Amino acid sequence: MNKLSKKAVRNIFITTCGVFAVIFLISGIFFYLVTGPVSTADWGVDWITATSELTASLDSKIDELKEDIETASSGEELVLEITQEEATSKLDQLARQGNISIDTDYPQVYFSQGAVCASAKIHVGICIETSVQIEIKAKDGKPDFTVKRLDFGRLILPKTLINNVMTAFEHELGKRWDELAVTIKEIEIEPGVLIVTMVKK
C-alpha cells in the first residue's frame, strides 16, 4: 500500500470515528433530556392514589349525564363536576386495561392553577416521564384547548410542534362534538375540580 493509499485509509478511519463520536454524543444528550424527571413542583399538588371506587364514581356521573341529556328540554342546562381523584383513577383504569395507545404507568391528573395538569410514565422503547399543562375554555359551544407546556423528561417541546398537534386534535374533536346533543356554555377549573356547564340543543 503506497503512502497515498495509507493516508486515504487513515482519513476515512478518522472521519468514521468522528461521525460515530457525534452520533453517540447526540444520543447521549437526547437520552439525558428525555429520561430525566419532569418538573411538577410548581403544581402544588400531592400524589393521588387511584381507586376503583373513584373510577365507579366518575362512571356513574357520566351515565347520569347521558340520561339527563336524553330527558332534558332544549335550552336546559346540565352540569358535570369531576374531581382530580376521579380523573386520575379513570385514566389509571384505561392505562391498565390497555385502552391508551401508548403503554402508560402512574398517570396523575390535577386541576390546578386554572389548568388541567397531567403526568405519567410512558414506554416507547425507553421509559420517559412526561407532563402536560392544558387550559380548557368554552368557545363557540365547544371545548377549546391551549397547551401551555408539554415536557418529555427534561426536554420541553417547542410551541410550534405543540400547536400543530393540537390543531389536528381539535379538528377531529370538533367533528365528533357536532354530533352531540349539547353545547358547552362554560368550563371552570377550580382547585381539585373541573366543572363543565352544558346546554341541551
Check whether residue 50 and residue 27 sit in a common domain. Answer: no
Total domains in the fold of the chain: 2
Check whether residue 129 and residue 180 sit in a common domain. Answer: yes
Please check whether residue 69 is in contact with residue 183, taking contact to mean a CB–CB distance below 8 angstroms: no
Q: What is the pTM of this model?
A: 0.75
Check whether residue 193 and residue 117 sit in a common domain. Answer: yes
Q: Which three cell numbers stand for residue 187?
A: 368550563
How confident is the model over 108-116, as a mean pLDDT? 90
pLDDT at 35: 54
How confident is the model over 21-32, as a mean pLDDT? 44
Check whether residue 13 and residue 60 sit in a common domain. Answer: no
Check whether residue 159 and residue 137 sit in a common domain. Answer: yes
Please check whether residue 181 is in contact with residue 201, taking contact to mean a CB–CB distance below 8 angstroms: yes
Q: Which three cell numbers stand for residue 56?
A: 365507579
Check whether residue 49 and residue 94 sit in a common domain. Answer: yes
pLDDT, one tens digit per residue, over 159-197 is 665 666 666 666 656 666 667 789 999 999 999 999 999
CA dist., res. 8 & res. 12, Å (int): 6
Structural domain of 72 = 41-200
pLDDT, one tens digit per residue, over 56-77 is 999 999 999 989 999 999 999 9
Q: Which three cell numbers stand for residue 79?
A: 352540569
Best CA proximity match to 55, nearest among 31, 91, 11, 5: 91
Check whether residue 132 and residue 194 sit in a common domain. Answer: yes
